[in-house]
Structure 1
Amino acid sequence: MANTGTTTDARHRIVPSPAGRTHLVEQGTGPLVLLVHGFPETWYSWRHQLPALAAAGYRAVAVDVRGYGRSSKPAEVAAYRMRRLVADAVAVVEALGEGSAVVVGHDWGAEIASHCALLRPDVFTAVGMLGVPYSPRGGVRPTEMFGRLGDGSQEFYVSYFQEPGRAEAEIEPDVRAWLRGFYAALSGGTMPGPDAPPPYFVSHGGRLADRFPTGPLPGWLDERDLDVYAAEFERTGLTGALNRYRNADRDWEDLADQEGAPVTRPALFIAGGLDPSTTWLSGAIEAFPTTLPRLSGSHILEGCGHWVQQERADEVSRLLIDWLGSLGG
């Protein structure tokens, strides 16, 4: 169900950050809840949660991560490493005149959120992760691990995204069509069936889009929503967004002092039962008693794909509000 949110009284702002500037959209008053999107999205992926959280008595703030939307887009690939994204989040909290916040993220935003709570627990008092579970830094270099997921005939999508310019050459000639296919490929109801080649692998010499489904839009996405996303990426290009993938090994090096470290702040996890991330990262979910010792809820929504806060907007908003209420002062 698309466009159920009402953000007419939301306010757009630009605030200073280590990136240069961070664009955000805020709605409501009360304790601060910082919402961090993933790939390939923008603040707009939280359009349903902004009014819901505001109505529940929270100051909901959705950012454009550096490289996206109206936020700054540094040219250097290394500018998109995790520690710098955490610094951006801290700067947003400070620019809003707050001393602390709950941080909630989806996809790459979930990784950013969990590392905000890991690296700056003095600022981020609790963390919600949607779609991607927290996984501590381990002993295997990420590019080596991603390489193991491919074989002689196909390549894992993260490996495909590593080389600057390669994925851009596929996506940017027709951004809208590519986004449409990518969203559908990971949505409950439109993703390819179990007998089809998985859309998150690329045949050698092929394109990721070769495995995208054709047909109607997912139920959570209408033509207007797609226009919003396409317009942003047609304007900005995809390089800033893709550069997050290109820092996997840098992050691994930067976080050597955090190997195996748990996130000790209160935590929540929500994911779609059809989201491939829950399969790839099933070991991370099983390790939650160790890695997230203050996890108060882990919710797998049956029949839901990757875009959980958009596919199940009302349910996710309710889970978030109930969890936030349980945190107390």
Structure 2
Amino acid sequence: MSQPAPSASAPVPDAKHRLVEVPGGRIHLVEQGSGPLVLLVHGFPESWYSWRKQLPALAAAGFHAVAIDVRGYGRSSKPHEVDAYRMLAHVADNVGVVGALGAEMAVVVGHDWGSPIAANSALLRPDIFTAVGLLSVPYAPRGGVRPTDAFARIGGSEEFYVSYFQEPGRAEAEIEPNVRAWLAGFYAGLSADTMPPAGEDPLFFVPEGAKLSDRFVGDTLPSWLTEADLDFYAAEFERTGLTGPLNRYRNVDRDWEDLAVWGGSPITQPSLFIGGDLDPSTTWMADAIKAYPTTLPRLVSSHILEGCGHWVQQERSDEVNRLLVDWLQSLPAHASS
């Protein structure tokens, strides 16, 4: 079952909004084009709208491009329970979307948190997700250390941002009084043209008694983000709040337990990685990228974009579109139909 969704959003010409039913509730999606299905999964704190530049490009290249609002975001379902945001639930949502669209297979592409959601969709359901594209966050198989224990060791006397996000209500109390300003600072702090200079205090660490936003620098928007874009993002989170998106971080230990049987497993479908050389995710996880011959044995291509920050498909949309289309068109027929 599906139904049209009202579009109170900044428009993408020729794109269609829909609500589809999945076992966990409903997913709002925006689609454009026809052909092999490409499912686009955003990260934190974002939206389907993060793929606004990819939808028409993929459609023009002969693909059915579908950008979802991940559960907890936008017009998708927002369960109250923290554990409703575990990785297995996100994988089930992706499977449900493919079925609701009448497809049997899809290529899945994710950015930021969407990257591990895409990776685990491919890992757990290779029968459905026949290729996987990962943006900004490299694939790293489940390891032997409980995530919250690992994060607690990072940063010394300061608190790593993932640890900061663990307590329900804590980060919400920082963000929700002025969502627009917080988003602007967070986006700018990880964008190549507005991030803090090398050597300054890192954005992702919180001194005792401080807030994450205390490390934000200036009030200049990055070049990829217009005032209208920021208005769209802010309006989405002002309507929905931040608890659902933050609950993704609050399930890292549950994910570690749920995915134990897949510990150390490679992803064997054709894959793609695109990252920015100024993105902390790329530098922190350099060892994961070096391990790709083992962890992504069918990696088609890997690209580190010079002078690019974290928001790769928005910062460098033309380049990312070209890389995505070239990769998609290189896939075997069975991996993109």
TM-score by length of structure 2 reads 0.95
1:28 to 30, 33, 58: 33
Query: Any stretches of 5+ residues in structure 1 without a counterpart?
Result: none
Shift of 1:18: 2.6
2:289 to 285, 291, 296: 285
Question: For each residue in 1:248-287, what CA deviation from the matched residue of structure 2 results, as whole angstroms up to 9, or x when unmatched?
Answer: 0000000110010000010000001100001111111111
| 2:218 aligned residue | 214
1:71 to 61, 76, 84: 76
Shift of 1:194: 1.4
1:80 to 85, 93, 112: 85
8 A Cα contact 1:106 1:132, kept in partner: yes
Question: For each residue in 1:229-256, what CA deviation from the matched residue of structure 2 results, as whole angstroms up to 9, or x when unmatched?
Answer: 0000000000000000000000000011
CA distance in 2, matches of 1:17, 1:125: 20
| 2:58 aligned residue | 53
| 1:7 aligned residue | 12
> Is 1:247 equivalent to 2:251 in the alignment?
yes
| 1:162 aligned residue | 166
Shift of 1:135: 0.5
> Is 1:313 equivalent to 2:305 in the alignment?
no
Shift of 1:107: 0.3
8 A Cα contact 1:68 1:240, kept in partner: yes
Shift of 1:27: 0.1
CA distance in 2, matches of 1:128, 1:212: 30
Amino acid at match of 2:150: M
Amino acid at match of 1:21: R
8 A Cα contact 1:6 1:48, kept in partner: no
Shift of 1:195: 2.5
Query: Any stretches of 5+ residues in structure 2 without a counterpart?
Result: 1-9
| 1:117 aligned residue | 122
Amino acid at match of 1:20: G
Give identity over the alignment, percent. 72
Shift of 1:213: 1.1
| 1:268 aligned residue | 272
CA distance in 2, matches of 1:301, 1:10: 28
Alignment coverage as a number of residue pairs: 324
SS in 1 for 2:323: helix
| 2:241 aligned residue | 237
Which ranges of 4 or more aligned residues in structure 1 deviate by more than 4 Å? none
- CA-atom RMSD, angstroms? 0.9
Q: 1:21 to 1:286 in 2, by over 3 A?
A: same
2:108 to 100, 103, 112: 103
Amino acid at match of 2:302: S
SS in 2 for 1:125: strand
Amino acid at match of 2:277: G
CA distance in 1, matches of 2:288, 2:41: 21
TM-score by length of structure 1 reads 0.97
Shift of 1:6: 7.7
